Structure 1
């Protein structure tokens, strides 16, 4: 997993993506080997996570911390990959070896198989500074968020905008919000980029609107240019929506980049339901994709699903003839990591299945 914001921001306050997007194969295996050496030296049996700081210009890296326990990052990794870290850790503690443990998603492979992702996950922290008016909104080494949400999709742009909507803070995405951003001059924007707060992403957008280069934004904010280019893609789609006719290609691009019908309607001066009708008439609808922990190398036996416009066919088909029960996820609670609510949902599924119900 990789933090989007700079090292000066606590991981709990950082936007996190999985899998890592900006490190190459050499850097990945360098850090992986270092992590394995560290856990072997410490004598870890079970689960732990290690955080590294990497200087990509020199290959220098430093271990920031090692957590020999289940943590917020562990919960995020489990939900992002479908790999049940807590379950596997408990079994290892009881004396089982990884080859003895069956992957609970595929039911065929063992726990030795490392998760492989053919999608991207974005964890976005939720702050509640409106309830603490005197609190310092600047982000730093002290964690200030009260919870987090997790979005799944095929593009970084898509999951970033999805996660913002899930925060329930009155925003429909990164751009085209009902609450217009205040007008700032370049000097104010640059100051906010250097000293990040909970609105750092919106200052990046403001900088792009002002024509400030990605290179300059990078030097001010320390956000990797890869992420800045992806944010700029969202800004470019916004510009096209405001200046071009809403044809099938533009509407498809907008949906694949995480724009909601409400955002699109705001740009083209149409109501949300009008955009929805146009979209459905053009056959632009989301597809159901399945998380299988191994990037479709093995078929999944469990239904861990997400919706995306970045696909052409459904991974599963559900018809009225199935006469089964669909159980929706608990959704984002935005307090803590919400693992306990996910556990409640899973137990409900188990209970219904034990009662003879067909689960979809």
Structure 2
């Protein structure tokens, strides 16, 4: 369950409350109506002990069997939050991993200040690492012989040996506007090229509707969550030669720098260069430094500073989170009330990365340029023009190539 929730979006830590319901009536109303947010209401009711399993069942009609499994996850949380890392036993650590807790979650739950790496080092010191298992595609009628793999702590040995090398390609995860089939095409093209060049290829992805999750496409396919922790698990276990993050869209880009900092070899564009482009503050500052004109902008430091900026330049303003290709939480605000709402959404998506607010130019033509560089030289490029005015996300817009209103200049 926890792994599945993280696969929906990296901002979801697991089975735990999110956007807390302030009153019991609000909580019960969310439980009563099936939506994509009901799971958080169940988590809140169980974590805060405001409703029993029987009461949740009565409202939701979810079978007791499933609710009891969710309750077991919470019981492990309750045990973790009463101990420190130094006092965490091997049995408790293993139980937490079997219950689907990520290292990052455990670091946040334990008493004291710990990092994800603190938890990772502790559990590896205990000899607690996930095992690789094959997904049975033959309904147990014959021995499974596919390279369709996943990792689990519910096992005593792996079904397959270490790959002992090869290149990992990270896929795009869940489809969404601006991060969809184009990245599947990129991932598959990368895998096929690697194999033609004689490299052993490994794909990590979890969307069953993609071509990249066809186990015939690569030498190894891990149907797994796209997190720093899991990529590190696979990278270290398979003794991989490197990781390609540039063909999977936003999620791989988001973990490029953390993987680089952990010692993973990032192939292609270096992680610090990805960060320079994805970090809104660094990118806007770089444009100012080289003299490229851009709308007035400011890094968000507080809600009041954003309101002051909007009052200075005038509405509308554009709120831009960092590390977002899909347009998530990138909004145009036309008044103070809208701006406050946009800032809350952007802070959740951007998390510890900068959020930039800038003047929004109305009626502007939007032009996109995609290029491929090698050794400091641009070797391929395309320029296309949006039919809609600037402000409509490329995933929703109509684009024309070549541009039809631009001058040669």
Which TM-score tier does this pair reach, normalised by the shorter chain? 0.3 to 0.5
TM-score using structure 1 length: 0.48
Larger radius of gyration: 2
- Larger proportion of strand: 2
Highest relative contact order (Cα 8 Å, sep 6+), 1 or 2? 1
